[in-house]
Amino acid sequence: MTDDPFGRWNLTPVINVSGTMTRIGASRVPEDVRACVDRILASFVDMDELQSRAGAVVARVTGAEAGCIASCSAAAMTQTVAACLTGADLARIEALPSVAGERRVLLPMGHMVNYGAPVDQAIRLAGAEVVPVGTAAACETWHLVDALAAGAVAAMYVVSHHTVRENELPMDVFINLCREHGVPAIVDMAAEYDLTGPIELGASATIHSGHKFLSGVTSAVVAGNSDLIRATYLQHRGIGRTMKAGKESVVGAMAALESWEKRDHGAARRAEEARAALWMRELADMSGVSVTSHADWTGNPITRTRITIAPREAGFHAWELAARLAARSPGIVVRDDLVERQELYLDPCNLTDAEAAAVAVAIREEVDLFQARGDGCRQGWSDVKRAREAAILSWSGNRDVAL
Ligand SMILES: *Cc1c(COP(=O)(O)O)cnc(C)c1O
């Protein structure tokens, strides 16, 4: 029997040109991390000891007092909030999601977004009540001060391209106001490269996914002050049990952090820039298709290639091109979250040079086909939205699934 899952279970290979999307497997895990995970999978280890060693690694890399590893960032959001609700009191930990007393958790309204699931749900799962602060495109200091004065067990700040950043409270202002009111500030920055910034600013805890830019296995790195981290880890005796980080997650995150520390980031960036330059070159001069360089929305050191479609001139919509690319074999998955603005993004961080070249060839082929056949601009955005929703619901988990 082959140990290649693609052949064994008839899976469709995917070229990932969308970055670190969890829905297609997040990241390509480097050899040194995989070797470490492989070794622990064949062994036994005291999980408390392993997590305390992980804490030392997390503390070193992030500059925090303490740290632990959770099963993913969504779980870490729930467990850090739970920690603020219970402290290290095991009776309260076992009682969750029932909470005696204060259970308000503040969240800027513009940060109440969906990263694949709603941010507010990860907070509510612990038993907390979410209190939105400000409005979608304006969170002022007086909104936060007013909410803090009314009482809260924690406040969550989200750094992500998903959030509304017009008129948001800067993170340092947010953290300082929380500190003045004695309310722990938890920063969810699952996909952000900056491992140290919020801790320096005085955040009580930060959350980073192990499987996104860190390219580890599915996990989350939780860093913060000792009391909060201890109470977060103790949740494994309560609601955290449903979000267990196994030995492979913990070792995978530790190895990924150390691999990240050692990595030649300059060389990685130069390789990414070369891929982006190839796209800029190879995708120029197509009718109705323009390519531009686009710096990351939240300041991560990554430059994507933006493809903007002028549907009348091109003869197809951006979402039709994305769908055709995804339907190829191997499937090519581009960043399509702004597709209704007729924009697609190519992310250079998670693919090989050969794959990057194949992506350019495939895009030209699909554009040529649309233009030769003249069968684009058939599907409006509302058709696509309906089809996407139907695709989510059609998953049946048993025979003959057509996804
Ligand atoms: C990806 C993401 C999450 C969830 O991360 P997982 O580790 O996949 O659970 C939470 N918040 C933000 C901002 C994200 O980008």
Give the C-alpha distances (Å, rounded to integers) separating 235 from 87, 131, 220, 284, 341: 10, 23, 15, 53, 42
Which of 17-26, 153-162, 343-352, 387-396 is least confident? 387-396
User: Ligand 1: which of 121, 160, 242, 347 to mutate, most ligand atoms within 8 Å of CB?
Assistant: 160
Q: Which amino acid, 16?
A: N
Tokens encoding 62: 């992030």
Instruction: Look at the block and give the residue holding tokens 């491992």.
Output: 195
Distance CA 347, CA 276 (A): 8
Which of 88-97, 157-166, 210-219, 386-395 is least confident? 386-395
The predicted pLDDT at position 403 comes to 45
Do 252 and 110 form a contact (C-beta atoms < 8 A)? Answer: no
Ligand 1 closest atom vs CA 163: 13
Each residue's pLDDT tens digit, 178-236: 999 999 999 999 999 999 999 999 999 999 999 999 999 999 999 999 999 999 999 99
Each residue's pLDDT tens digit, 60-85: 999 999 999 999 999 999 999 999 99
- The alpha carbon of 338 and the centre of ligand 1 are apart by a number of angstroms equal to 18
- The alpha carbon of 116 and the centre of ligand 1 are apart by a number of angstroms equal to 8
Band (398; pLDDT cuts 50, 70, 90): low
- C-beta of 245 in contact with ligand 1 (< 6 A): no
Domains of the chain: 5-22+265-393 (3.90.1150.180), 44-262 (3.40.640.10)
Do 157 and 185 form a contact (C-beta atoms < 8 A)? Answer: yes
Q: Cα torsion for 240, 242, 243, 247, to the nearest 10°?
A: 100
- C-beta of 22 in contact with ligand 1 (< 6 A): yes
Ligand 1 closest atom vs CA 159: 13
Each residue's pLDDT tens digit, 229-249: 999 999 999 999 999 999 999
User: Ligand 1: which of 22, 123, 187 to mutate, most ligand atoms within 8 Å of CB?
Assistant: 22
The predicted pLDDT at position 303 comes to 96
Interval 15-28 mean pLDDT: 94
The predicted pLDDT at position 178 comes to 98
- C-beta of 73 in contact with ligand 1 (< 6 A): yes
CA neighbours closer than 13 Å in the CB half-sphere of residue 31: 0
Whether the predicted pLDDT of 1 surpasses 90: no
Each residue's pLDDT tens digit, 280-307: 999 999 999 999 999 999 999 999 999 9
- Measured CA angle at 286 (ends 282, 291), to 5 deg: 60
Each residue's pLDDT tens digit, 131-178: 999 999 999 999 999 999 999 999 999 999 999 999 999 999 999 999
- C-beta of 69 in contact with ligand 1 (< 6 A): no
The predicted pLDDT at position 397 comes to 75
| Residue partners of 380: CB distance under 8 A and separation at least 6 | 317
Whether the predicted pLDDT of 29 surpasses 80: yes
- The alpha carbon of 118 and the centre of ligand 1 are apart by a number of angstroms equal to 10
- C-beta of 105 in contact with ligand 1 (< 6 A): no
- CA 40 to the chain's CA centroid: 26
Each residue's pLDDT tens digit, 313-372: 999 999 999 999 999 999 999 999 999 999 999 999 999 999 999 999 999 999 999 999
- The alpha carbon of 8 and the centre of ligand 1 are apart by a number of angstroms equal to 30
- The alpha carbon of 174 and the centre of ligand 1 are apart by a number of angstroms equal to 21
